[in-house]
Amino acid sequence: MTEKILGQEENKHHVTDFSWSYLHPRYWLLWLWFGFLWSVTRLPYPLVYRIGRGFGLLCLKLLPKRREIADRNVELCFPDKTPAEREQIVRESFAGGGLTIFESGLLWWPAKNLFDRLEMKGMEHIERLRAEGKPVLVFGLHNTPMEIAAASISLYVPFNGLMRVNDNPCWEYVANRCRGRYNLRILPRKLVKELLGYMQQGEVGLMLPDQDFGRRRSVFVPFFGISTATVPSVSDFAQQANAAVIFMNFYRKGSKGYCVELSEPLDNFPTNDLVADTARISLITEEAIRQRPGEYLWQHRRFKTRPEGETSLY
């Protein structure tokens, strides 16, 4: 399956054209980093795995602000766990985040077939819906191996995800050029109409709605028992595109590989109650996190936006 996708004509949608300005000295450190990342991905996978986790644990010490945020998030979400258990969750999250960086290198400059280590469950649900002509919207969560998950689904179906554009144009150029190896289109978050259009053409859409995008764009629903600002976009987009909605869970199986699990389409979704739909999405996400809390990216301020009158949790 992989060989059918690698070598396809490059996906040029939103791929930045090369600019000679990327050779300016201000980008030299970034090019050195890309060279280092390329070099590491030539190593055997078990060694890349150890290097990636080690880099993440180094960041645990070098990024105290992110450590504080992760500690606070885990404390809020798992008050019944012991301090040692919560510390282990944070360590695993940082280790996984470090590994994610090197997994991106393995995807961008493949020297080995990373997908030999992939276990895919539930792809038949997407294939059936597409055969019926039904648009499909997949939602997931910010588990650390997210790029592996997106690339793996693109081996089977054209896949489109909304993502924040990186502030560094040189990084964005390299990332999009390399992601063009796969049947994966990354769209800036504002291009919702384009996402819906691709879904209606038979391609699959992806959303990760489990971050805080501010009060104006959110509704407040429970998340680990805390009233949390959550974008209602899964329900909204599904209604606009008349799409079936599938949950994507994904995680590492230690150093052995990866698992991507696709649920059956959610029944009775979307409804006319945007808040209830969003609460349901939040609960599904929470249940997946509880199964493997160390896989989750705890370093973002999930509870930053508070209901009127509530004080900051950070």
Token output for 229: 């600002």
Asked which of 17-21, 39-43, 102-106, 141-145 is least confident by mean pLDDT, the reply is: 17-21
Rounded distance, CA 38 to CA 111, Å?
A: 9
Confidence category of residue 238, pLDDT binned at 50, 70, 90: very high
Output phi, psi for 235, to 5 deg: -65, -45
Rounded distance, CA 13 to CA 16, Å?
A: 9
The number of domains in the chain is 1
Q: What mean pLDDT comes out for the span 302-309?
A: 95
The dihedral region occupied by 203, where left means phi > 0, alpha psi between -120 and 50, and beta the remainder, is beta
In a domain, 157, yes or no: yes
In a domain, 284, yes or no: yes
Give Dmax over CA atoms of the chain in angstroms.
55
Confidence category of residue 16, pLDDT binned at 50, 70, 90: low
Rounded distance, CA 149 to CA 155, Å?
A: 10
What pLDDT shows up at residue 11?
42
Share of the chain above pLDDT 90, in %: 75
Quick check: 147 pLDDT over 90? Answer: no
Please answer whether residues 249 and 261 qualify as being in contact, where contact means their C-beta atoms are separated by less than 8 angstroms.
yes
Please name the residues in contact with 201: beta carbons below 8 A apart, sequence gap of 6 or more.
Answer: none
Please name the residues in contact with 202: beta carbons below 8 A apart, sequence gap of 6 or more.
Answer: 130, 133, 135, 158
Quick check: 129 pLDDT over 50? Answer: yes
Confidence category of residue 12, pLDDT binned at 50, 70, 90: very low
Share of the chain above pLDDT 70, in %: 95
Which pairing describes strands 219-223 and 136-139: parallel, antiparallel, or unpaired? unpaired
Quick check: 300 pLDDT over 90? Answer: yes
In a domain, 307, yes or no: no
Please name the residues in contact with 32: beta carbons below 8 A apart, sequence gap of 6 or more.
Answer: none
In a domain, 300, yes or no: no
Output phi, psi for 249, to 5 deg: -105, 145
Task: Note the residue count of the chain.
Answer: 314
The SS3 assignment for 119 reads strand
pTM (predicted TM-score): 0.89
Domain membership of residue 91 as a residue range: 2-295
In a domain, 11, yes or no: yes
Rounded distance, CA 106 to CA 33, Å?
A: 14
In a domain, 259, yes or no: yes
Query: Which of 256, 238, 258 has the alpha carbon at shortest distance from 247?
Result: 238
Confidence category of residue 263, pLDDT binned at 50, 70, 90: very high
What pLDDT shows up at residue 180?
79
Confidence category of residue 64, pLDDT binned at 50, 70, 90: very high
In a domain, 286, yes or no: yes
Which pairing describes strands 258-262 and 244-252: parallel, antiparallel, or unpaired? antiparallel
What pLDDT shows up at residue 189?
82
Quick check: 1 pLDDT over 80? Answer: no
Q: What mean pLDDT comes out for the span 274-298?
A: 98
In a domain, 10, yes or no: yes
Greater confidence (165 vs 176) lies with: 176
- Per-residue CA distances from 201 to 55, 132, 134, 214 (Å): 41, 12, 10, 31
What pLDDT shows up at residue 123?
95
